Amino acid sequence: MKLNTFYQIYYSHRIKKSSFFLKLYILIVLPFAYILNKILLDSKVDLDDFSKRNSELYEENLNFLFQFFNSDKGDKYKNQYQKPIKFENKFITGHKYHKYYEKYFLEKKNENLQILEIGTFKGNATAAFYFYFKNASITSVDIFPDLMRYKSKRIRNFFLNNSSEKELNEKILSKNTQYDIIIEDAGHYHKDQIITLFGLFKSLKKKGLFIIEELDFPDTRIDMNPEKKKPTLRDILFSIQNKKDFSSEFITKDQKEYFLKNLNCIDVYRGEFNQIAFIQKK
């Protein structure tokens, strides 16, 4: 974990709201807090070596794996978003998306898949997918790739800001890799959700799955859509389900036509707190 990552995640929002003297205090203590938290950060795990000692994990279901690797996608987890020094060793309720993931993933479990995971944080879900899809190659991207706590010959990890069409084009679309599964679990901002789905739908293989977590954030959280812009991605998907037209400043005519021509179905579910969408290509 780099110093800038530590600052951006834990202190940048405080600096914006602080008085001059509090800002000065934060900047003075920041290097010391960073060093202490970096020492307490979990060491990076080589999953290829780890799997040799824990091969039984290949047979476990997703809920077990999400909990084992401490992902918030399952029933419960320990708060991975706290600073390491404040980490509490107790379980809290997770999103409970596992039952929906299992519904769509079970029949693909042993296939040679290409998976793109956008927004990985420490890589806890990535590790779970590594064992669930034992023959898959996983591309793991995040705005803070240095936070990733896992590595493997089957995992690629690099920086991507999915709020930028340029980055999506240069780092994903231009590579011409076709993915069986794309999971979008990044910032959940209004624009980001829309441009990621409609921009990367061409990178999805036939019968592939595009999954969007916290679909309802731009509708329910002001920080995800401060200008309350419409339509949100949820609005757009519901319009498509109801065979109604839609338009967005973030979707080109070609992207819209391609999406509608190649769309098979849209399913939206509710987890413990928020909505998740599974979009299947023809």
Q: What is the pLDDT of residues 176-217, one digit of tens each?
A: 999 999 999 998 999 999 999 999 999 999 999 999 999 999
Residues 24, 140: one domain? no
19 & 73 share domain: no
Under a CB-based contact definition with an 8 Å cutoff, are residues 101 and 108 in contact?
Answer: no
Q: How far apart are CA 191 and CA 248, in angstroms?
A: 10
Under the banding of pLDDT at 50, 70 and 90, the label for residue 144 is very high
Residues 131 and 171 in one domain: yes
Residue 254 sits in a domain whose CATH number is 3.40.50.150
What average pLDDT does the chain have? 95
Q: What is the pLDDT of residue 25?
A: 82
Residues 27 and 80 in one domain: no
Tell whether 264 and 144 lie within a shared domain: yes
Q: For position 224, what pLDDT does the model report?
A: 95
225-273 pLDDT, tens digit per residue, is 999 999 999 999 999 999 999 999 999 999 999 999 999 999 999 999 9
35 and 57 housed in the same domain:
no
On the question of pLDDT at 19 being above 90, the answer is no
- Can you count the helices (H) and strands (E) in the chain? 12, 11
Q: What percent of the chain has pLDDT over 90?
A: 86
Domain count of the fold of the chain: 2
Residue 68 and residue 21 in one domain: no
Q: Give yes or no: residues 9 and 95 share one domain.
A: no
Predicted local confidence at residue 15, as pLDDT: 84
Residues 18 and 64 in one domain: no
Per-residue pLDDT tens digits for 93-130: 999 999 999 999 999 999 999 999 999 999 999 999 99
Residue 149's φ and ψ, nearest 5 degrees, are -105, 10
pLDDT confidence of residue 233: 98
The answer to whether residues 240 and 246 touch, using CB atoms and an 8 Å cutoff, is yes
Lookup: tokens for 8:
């951006």
The confidence score (pLDDT) of residue 20 equals 81
Considering the domain architecture, whether residues 62 and 142 belong to the same structural domain is answered as yes
Which domain, by its residues, includes 33? 3-40
Q: Which of 109, 107, 281, 112 is nearest to 205 (CA)?
A: 281
75 in the same domain as 134? yes
Q: What percent of the chain has pLDDT over 70?
A: 100
Task: Specify whether 200 is located in the same domain as 109.
Answer: yes
At residue 27 the predicted structure's pLDDT band, cuts being 50, 70 and 90, is: confident
Selection from 114, 98, 117 nearest residue 106 by Cα: 98
Instruction: Report whether 146 contacts 2 (CB < 8 A).
Output: yes
pLDDT at res. 26:
84
